[in-house]
Amino acid sequence: MALLNDIPIEIIQQIFNLLPKADLASLCLTNHSNRRHAEPCLYSTINFRWSTSEKPPIILLLRTLLSRPELFALIDTFSLVGNAPRHRMSQDQLRLAMPSNVSLSQFISAIEKTKAPYTDIWVARLETRHMDAFAGLLIAYLSNTTSLTITTNFIRNFHLVGKVLRSKALQFRPPFRFCGRFRF
């Protein structure tokens, strides 16, 4: 029986592209070889859906990406999608629950590294666990993304995301070099 390492990488990628994200995440935990092949498929497309009843796991993803910054380069398509209610969301609906094993210090350090002129506002929003601070941080570090979609829930009352997008287009490193499709 052939080992996975004996199969051409193109075939492995085709097989892994058919797997659900949960299976890819499990493969990453089995050994280094599987991780090397599964991570590009796992991180290539990230779609976050946000509704009043369901918030995306953006904090956990950000923690992983900031601890392994090379993973940002694997994100080709990034979508922040939501179905906005007719009424404005309350402040509680805009706040994220902070997992007990996650510290804000890693996120604050990443914000400070951007050298954005609005760092104080950004950190204050992060400390109150506001969604736009985390979404903005993720957007700030995207590097090879070719398609970026941001819809309703992520733009209504999210002035920080707009500031990050302007800064990303004009001054942040890494810039949007390859982003050919942008929906806002």
pTM: predicted TM-score of the whole model, two decimal places: 0.83
List the beta bridge partners of residue 181.
Answer: 147
Q: Are the C-beta atoms of 15 and 42 separated by less than 8 Å?
A: no
pLDDT of the residue at 166: 82
Locate the domains of the chain by residue range: 9-183
Q: What is the pLDDT of residues 100-132, one digit of tens each?
A: 677 899 999 999 999 899 999 999 999 988 888
Q: Closest Cα partner for 50 from 90, 80, 76? A: 80
Q: What is the pLDDT of residues 36-65, one digit of tens each?
A: 999 999 999 999 888 777 778 889 999 999
Percent of the chain at pLDDT above 70?
79
Band (pLDDT 50/70/90 cuts) for residue 33 is confident
List the beta bridge partners of residue 50.
Answer: 82
| Mean model confidence pLDDT for the chain | 83
Distance (Å, whole) CA 48 – CA 40: 18
